[in-house]
Amino acid sequence: MDKRPEQILNEAKALLSKAEAEQDFEAARIKYLGKNGEVTALLKSMGSVPAEERKAFGKEANAVKHEISELVNDGKAALARALKAGKLMKERIDVTEPGADIPVGALHPITQAIDEISRIFMGLGYSVTEGPEAETVFNNFDALNAAPNHPSRDLTDTFYLTGNTLLRTQTSPVQIRTLMDSEPPVKVISPGRCFRADTPDATHSPMFHQVEGLLVDEGVTMADLKGTLDAFAKRMFGDDVVTKFRPHFFPFTEPSAEMDMSCFVCGGSGCRVCKGSGWIEILGCGMVHPNVLKVGGIDTETYTGFAFGMGVERIAMLGHGIDDIRLFYENDVRFIGQFA
């Protein structure tokens, strides 16, 4: 025979000491204990061992077989424990460690502006109501006292879907829907998207947002309107803001006005934001026209009301110093992320 049992055992120990993976232990087992392994061959060679040595030789060979088998099994078990321990170390959770910072998104500045405007008016007792963006010509124009030849009805200003339906040009149709469905007192705001056939530039967009307000009750006057909007401007832009009202014309209000506020940047002394005038136009408003109240089935001898509407993009641009409305719609996360 070429090798003695003790020599095979020493070689096996040396080989197993270098094993690093399960396949290394399996290869050693096959090499020594497999069908054609060295220990198996050793046991098969016992017929050539002298009779007087055969018993001792067999005992030694079986002892080597048993020891190599234990070394292989122990090595596999130790490797499995090490792998499990490593996995546990990777998966362990230290509850005392501070949590990892998770980047979060930011609400769009338009959404933030709508939320802030809504919060202010809800604090004044208004509820929020909404209406469809696809409207009837009646709700968008006729019921709002717009004359048949009013320029806003032209195809150059309005997106028509059919002869009788369109994409609403303002959130004012929600006024009509509310008046038809409710009994006074009515006190609502209606934020939402509007659409006009405008060419996009720094101050115009074919899609934009408005917040419309409506209050109808007994004894409502222009003084109530002015007080409400003055309170809104101060809460939105600061207590130092001063407001003024200029006569204007809207088909659905009479009298009508536009409200200006003193520039919150320069305090009224004149700057780039207010174009040197010291004043910033912020919204349109007025007392609800009796014809509009009649469409809603409201008794004009008993009830009066006021309405106002403001562009959300304009409010957001003023509040954040943004000079181009197109920035709101370019979906640049670098821009939106500034408002987190």
E strand segments, 22-170: 127-128, 134-136, 165-167
Q: Are residues 175 and 244 in the same domain?
A: yes
Residues 192 and 162 grouped into a single domain: yes
Same domain assignment for residues 171 and 277: yes
Identify whether residues 85 and 114 lie together within a single domain.
no
Whether 58 and 153 map to the same domain: the answer is no
- Taking each helix axis from N to C end, the angle separating 109-123 and 312-320, rounded to the nearest 10 degrees, works out to 100
Q: Do residue 157 and residue 74 come from a single domain?
A: no
| Residues 228, 308 within the same domain | yes
CATH of the domain at 125: 3.30.930.10
Total number of domains constituting the chain: 2
Q: Is residue 96 part of a domain?
A: no
Single residue among 63, 91, 119 that ends a domain in this structure: 91
Q: Is residue 98 part of a domain?
A: no
Task: Check whether residue 82 and residue 125 sit in a common domain.
Answer: no
The answer as to whether 101 is a domain residue is: no
Does residue 73 lie within any of the structural domains?
Answer: yes
3-state secondary structure of 284: strand
Range of the domain at 187: 109-339
Examine the domain organization and report whether 147 and 45 are in the same domain. no
What's the pLDDT score for residue 81?
82
pLDDT digits (tens, 9 = 90+) for 129-165: 999 999 999 999 999 999 999 999 999 999 999 999 9
Two tokens, residue 296: 């809603």
> Sign of the CA dihedral 195, 196, 200, 204?
negative
Final residue before a domain boundary, out of 64, 91, 118: 91
Same domain, 204 and 328: yes
164 DSSP 8-state letter: S
Same domain, 157 and 249: yes
Q: Does residue 100 fall inside a structural domain? A: no
| Per-residue pLDDT tens digits for 52-91 | 877 887 788 788 888 888 888 888 888 788 777 776 667 6
**This model's pTM is above 0.85:** no
280's torsion region: left (phi>0), alpha (psi -120 to 50) or beta?
beta
Our separate counts of H helices and E strands in the chain read 11, 9
122, 87: one domain: no
Residue numbers of the chain with a pLDDT score lower than 70: 1-2, 87-89, 91-92, 273
Indicate the DSSP class of residue 269.
Answer: S
Distance of alpha carbon 316 from alpha carbon 114, whole angstroms: 9
